Amino acid sequence: MPICFEKSNRECAGTLMIQEMSKKKKIGLMVFLVLVWLGLQAGIGMCDRYGIKGYNGVLTAAQFAVCLLAVWINYKVGTAISMILIGFSMINMLAVMIVTRKMEPLPGFCNLVIYTVTLLLLCVQFRIREKAAVTDILTGLQNRRGLYQELNAGIEKGKPFYVIYIDLENFKVINDNYGHTYGDSLLQLVTKRMKEIVGNRGVLSRIGGDEFVLVVDDEMDAAEIAERILDKICEKATLAANFTWIDSYLTAYAGISRFPEDSLDAEALIKYADIAMYQASKENKTRICFFNRTMEEHLKREVELERLIKNALAKDYFYLVYQPQYKLGDKKLRGFEALLRMRTPKGEFVSPAEFIPVAEKGDLILQIDDYVLRRAMKEFKDIVEQVEEELTISVNVSAKNISAKGFANKVKAILDETGFPPANLEIEITEYCMVQSVEATIQNIVELRALGIQVALDDFGTGYTSLSYLAKMPINLLKVDKSLVDDIVANEKSRDFVTAVIAMGHLMGCEVISEGVENEEQLALLNGQECDFVQGYVWGKPLDYEAARDIALRAS
Ligand code: C2E
Ligand code: CA
Ligand code: CA
């Protein structure tokens, strides 16, 4: 779809009409204009022959108008034809002047010179505008429109080619942390690095903030160039921001689609390469994926899930279940972890393990976290006040939320709104939040703790938090991940590892809970390792609200 930039609607509509005209129609119109021009020329000849004065100028102006129209339809072809026709007239006039030795045609000749210059200037202007319309201002690469032209030209030729979609990860974080000027300079640097590798083996375009597309003709080249580009992007980039030098380490993923195997359509080829890139970003093993049909199915499911989540938020198809947590020695109730459940309008159940990752990709997770915090606090406010023993309600909060400025204030607002006592609330975060923004995360944790809220580090043992960061996090509970607990009976190494994790938790001044405990043997081993609490099917599956409330009231 052609796009018009910075034009009035009327002008834009006119240009669109011409641009959308088929090639055949354009050729027909050009031929027609040439005939009109020749007709006008014949008219001029007749006027000269029969000595009719005063009309020559009008006819020449009409010829010029015809030339203008031709240039507007297609500036390259239109200008070429106009030059031939006008050139022909000029030679004719020159010949008359030389043969008759009279200067009568001179004014007309001068007019033609002016028309020629005007048409050439117009042609240059069109050329500049055409180039600007397909060029990305920041990087000088082709933009999305240019890419479409490039792909359509390739499709017309019919020769196989490969579309490589490259996406920089977490670029938004760089813009947020160091500002857009720094981000722009970094994009320019990345472009320079990519261009060095691509050379003349392909055409590079920038089609979004941090999204690039490379088109190459050779499959070997596609995989190899993509690999080298990703390596190059990962190299340290040092640029100035606010008068200091800042090092950035980018990561990127690439997806590749093939013409003609995957699609014969430019838009679909880009979409499929994007889907493959997305797949690569989710896999741990590879940074580059070639598109296949299964990926499309996954994406369709994600779109469907996103729709279901929005619907569930709007129509309250969400509800919470509560999994009990117990003290290991005497099986005293510590509290509950609130776990989200989603029903579809047809009554089907969708696991959070499936829909939470989808919500985390966009901003839906922010609404979900708000919902869970508010609902858990509302449902348990009276209960925690009623029971004599301390009862902790744990709520999972996504990395996006805990690493966002002002999250602690948001929690405080919900506490004020619901009247829930802060000391009975626990926020569960994962190590992944440290990847997003260390400073903001630590700041939020400190503020939450200052409000009296407890903070737990979930899924411990699955991420890669550096110990120095861990030491800075003022958390009070470490949750040993189920994957570690699973093996402790059969595997001695796992057992030793869990022992070390529990000891480390205690060293950091935290209590430790093991999650996903499913049998008595695991319980016995964890007891021997001085684990403080357990959560798992062995002592309690997630319960609906009423059942959880009954357990809490009975326990007190
Ligand atoms: P998680 O936070 O690690 O939650 C523990 C998951 O392990 C829960 O699955 C729980 O039902 C399951 N589980 C607990 N004990 C056992 C056991 O002994 N055996 C087995 N096989 N599983 C056990 P669930 O409820 O399906 O939640 C899956 C994940 O979804 C959660 O993992 C959490 O990452 C996410 N999630 C759930 N609710 C929420 C929520 O309200 N907000 C956010 N942001 N994420 C949530
Ligand atoms: Ca959790
Ligand atoms: Ca967990």
In order along the chain (556 residues), what is the average pLDDT of each group of 10 residues?
A: 38 54 84 94 88 84 93 92 92 91 87 93 93 94 95 95 94 86 94 94 94 90 92 89 83 95 96 93 85 91 95 95 96 97 92 94 94 98 92 96 93 97 96 75 95 95 72 90 94 93 92 97 96 97 97 89
Residue 137 phi, psi (nearest 5): -65, -40
How many whole angstroms from 330 Cα to the centroid of ligand 2? Answer: 23
pLDDT at site 16: 52
- Residue 8: what pLDDT? 40
Distance CA 282, CA 473 (A): 27
Strands of the sheet containing 161-168, edge to edge, are 202-208, 211-216, 161-168, 252-259, 288-290
In 3D space, the residue among 205, 360, 226 whose CA is nearest the CA of residue 288 turns out to be 226
Measured CA to CA, the distance from residue 262 to residue 49 in angstroms comes to 66
Distance 522 CA to ligand 2 centre (A): 20
Q: Are the beta carbons of 426 and 479 closer than 8 angstroms? A: no
Ligand 1 binding pocket mutation candidate from 313, 321, 396, 523 (most atoms within 8 A of CB): 396
Which ligand is nearest the CA of 456, by number? 2
Residue 422: cis peptide before it, omega within 30 degrees of 0: no
Taking the CA atoms of 11, 14, 20 and 26 in sequence, report the sign of the dihedral they define: negative
Distance CA 543, CA 554 (A): 15
What is the pairing mode between strands 477-480 and 211-216?
Answer: unpaired
Residue listed under structure tokens 């930039």: 5
Pairing of strands 425-430, 211-216: unpaired
Name the burial class of residue 247, with classes exposed (0-12), middle (13-18) and buried (19+) by CB atoms within 10 angstroms of its CB: exposed
pLDDT at res. 4: 36
Q: Is 352 in the pocket of ligand 1 (CB under 6 A)?
A: yes
What Rg, from alpha-carbon coordinates, does the chain have?
35
Is residue 495 within 8 A of residue 514, CB to CB? The reply is no
Closest-lying ligand 1 atom to the alpha carbon of residue 320: 41
**Measured between alpha carbons, how far is 407 from 410 in angstroms, rounded to an integer?**
5
Q: If you measure from the C-alpha of residue 487 to the centroid of ligand 1, how many angstroms do you get, rounded to a whole number? A: 19
- Rounded CA-CA distance 68/79 in Å is 8
State which amino acid sits at residue 531. C
Q: What count of other Cβ atoms lies within 10 Å of the Cβ of residue 404?
A: 18
- Residue 305 C-alpha to ligand 2 middle, in angstroms? 21
Question: CA–CA separation, 118 vs 353, rounded Å?
Answer: 66
75 touches 126 (CB < 8 A)? yes
CA nearest to 225, candidates 248, 198, 205, 250? 198
Do residues 41 and 63 touch, judged by C-beta distance below 8 A?
yes
Residues 6+ apart with CB under 8 A from 523: 328, 517, 534, 538, 539
Closest atom of ligand 1 relative to the 360 alpha carbon: 44
The alpha carbon of 534 and the centre of ligand 2 are apart by a number of angstroms equal to 13
Which atom belonging to ligand 1 lies closest to the Cα atom of 338?
Answer: 41
Nearest alpha-carbon partner for 214 in 231, 236, 197:
197
Ligand 1 pocket member 458 (CB < 6 A): yes
CA gap 380, 481 in Å, rounded:
26
In this structure, are residues 509 and 497 in contact, taking their beta carbons and an 8 Å threshold?
Answer: no
Residues paired with 323 in a beta bridge: 337
Tokens standing for residue 133 = 């319309």
Q: Where are the alpha helices (DSSP H) in 199-315?
A: 219-234, 266-282, 293-315
pTM of the prediction? Answer: 0.67
Cβ of 518 below 6 Å from ligand 1: yes
Ligand 1 lined by 369 (C-beta under 6 Å): yes
Q: How far is the CA of 337 from the centre of ligand 2 (A)?
A: 7
Alpha carbon distance 335, 548 (integer Å): 9
For the chain, what percentages of helix, strand and coil (3-state, to nearest 5) are there? 60, 20, 25
Question: Residues 510, 460: contact at Cβ < 8 Å?
Answer: no
For strands 477-480 and 511-515, give the pairing: parallel
Contact 353 CB / ligand 1 (< 6 Å): yes
The residue nearest atom 34 of ligand 1, judged by CA position, is 353
What was the pLDDT predicted at 14?
52
State the amino acid at position 505 in one-letter form.
G
Q: Is the CB of 542 under 6 A from ligand 1?
A: yes
Query: What is the per-residue pLDDT for 312?
Result: 96
